[in-house]
Chain A
Amino acid sequence: MLTISAELKARIVAHARADHPDEACGVIAGPAGSDRPVRFIPMLNAERSPTFYRFDSLEQLRVWREMDDRDEEPVVIYHSHTATDAYPSRTDVSYASEPGAHYVLVSTRDPALDEFRSFRIVDGAVTEEEVCVVPE
């Protein structure tokens, strides 16, 4: 189960809406071992594409070092799909390499409906999980 604050959920959705029709992506860091997403880090989509995303490699290095220094880990790795449902694609699964992370998918295909789902992706196997939104 992913437990996430209403505020962080809203920030992910806002980022996805802002970058539509391109895919948006980012991380929410949290204290190592806590499974608690705390620090919102929107990332550049180096591909600037409606069908693909990739973290900019140098930005990723900087952010990963910063997490290391703060004893944090990427608790949530999120990205948006802009024309398809909020479910990991084959490409998403082939790249997924943080078995401890919650992979959050947002779809922006319907302007009036926020699709927000969370998954574990371990060794190529996708498991959807419940999202528990808490006030703080």
Chain B
Amino acid sequence: MSIEVRIPTILRNYTGGQKSVEGAGSTLDEVISDLDGRYDGLRGRLVDESGLRRFVNVYLNDEDVRFIGGLDAPVSDGDTVTVLPAVAGGSR
């Protein structure tokens, strides 16, 4: 099982500068844990106790994973996971 995971600029210090890394697992949660074994600390930037951090958007192929089960979203060989920093803010 090989899942391509695309990493945004802001997190490439965890992946030795790589834009894209390969992960394994049958759910998004497993893929992120698998990556964390090689890229220590990456999981903590994507996930906290309550689930996916609000500061990041995570996509499975063309879908925002928040709409398809979050960390439990099933993934299969050949899928692409894309991580982007959420662009947001407010006047307070």
Contact = CB atoms under 8 A, between A and B. Distances in A.
Question: In the complex, which range does the number of interface residues on chain A fall in?
Answer: 20 to 34
A53 B89 contact: yes
A95 B89 contact: yes
Contacts of A99: 9-10
Nearest to A99: B10
Nearest to A94: B55
A52 B55 contact: no
Interface stretch (A6-14, A84-92, A110-118, A128-136): A84-92
A49 B90 CA distance: 9
Interface in A41-75: 43, 47, 49-55, 57-58, 60-61, 64
A19 interface: no
Interface of B: 8-10, 55, 57, 59, 62, 64, 66, 82, 84-92
6 contacts: A25-B87, A49-B90, A54-B87, A57-B59, A58-B64, A95-B85
The 6 closest A-B pairs by CB, nearest first: A97-B85, A92-B89, A54-B88, A52-B90, A91-B90, A55-B87
